[in-house]
Chain A
């Protein structure tokens, strides 16, 4: 068969591991501000890792598709350093704050514009809103077989074989290509990119196509923003922490007492 053409949809979000003290909820403006660097949503990184493994076995091409009001190509270049081949950025003020269905619509338009593809991979959910909808809806819109929660993905003799995480273990499923798969973290984390490779890549000029809603021929009436009626901070989760001090031995002794009391 021909070498697989894989598209990975990757969202850029503020570092979800940032401590909660870095998150400010603006009740009036109904906005969340996160004082943290942007990263690729972790499950999307897993999706890229899955794609790279397929490419290592079968060759082919990996295109990263990322959408937003303003996408940082520095963050996305990391995907190239890891093993992706091309980037396409979807930028338009209209793309800001869209609901899941509209996001899936824009991404589907871009995938159709790319045209030649066998497999679309994306994270099971994004690390900011954790909705877990866009991938599955894209499957519907592209009208292709759709598998969620993949823990391993293989292409064998032109067929897609996926180990899908299910509550009792995993299910081995099969589908024809083209197809869409949402990826879970059991796939494994995105390989680490050595700084030398990263440096080489950052210096290399790269042409990154940017497509807006006109380029994509999106149905603008189809683009709906999320309608927030209220945004509030969560209830305080803090507890009074008793610190157990001293040398490791003393700490262990005191902790043993504490644990005995907790029986």
Chain B
């Protein structure tokens, strides 16, 4: 087990280094840098001023040197400076993380709360009208764009209540915070719950075909005991794995939902930074997202071993 953790950690380090190279390269796919863009939009180019700006932003160095500077800075906790606000990138990013983290946690909570039981019901009632209905609901959950769902929720609130709790100032107490976050979290969570529901259903169906389920039925165990005691206990394991996929899935939903609800989290900040071509922010944020996804997958794998005694990693 220790050997496995060490190997996975090393592999994770290789993945993250590779990821940093890919992100860095992606952002420099197209010739031209921030200085070109700033000067293009200004409409005139004074070569001396441009060179001074490039020097100041560290763009006059060669690409490998720029990359090296970034990585060395990262390792020391120095993320560089935002081109737009000229503040240290870490001061721009760090305060926004808790907002998105809370939103993501709440969305994940909603998605498990609805996705898991509905998936089980769908599997137990396989090929009945209820099952068809739930499958259509879950598939439409995956088909509705989350930004549209968010807009519809906004519209419904405005029509029926005349207003909607919107993020203006940081909330004072826990209750306000919950109220503020639960609506966007529900919009993101709906999509994720659809994913969990589908996976729970297919996992349940898989397990219900196993011999030990037939044995349990044959020895006269009640439907309830077979479905929940035997089937669900085994079916829930593969569902745990998708929490890893879920992390990546949630981020995609959060990006658009934070934009619609005007929530100042990291996901909306990424879009803003991309629109402003604020590369120090973009590359650090994308890297941060990558680290979260890779770490989540690692933790899920470890969790899997401790939950399922049949699995042993060498």
B is a partner of A: no
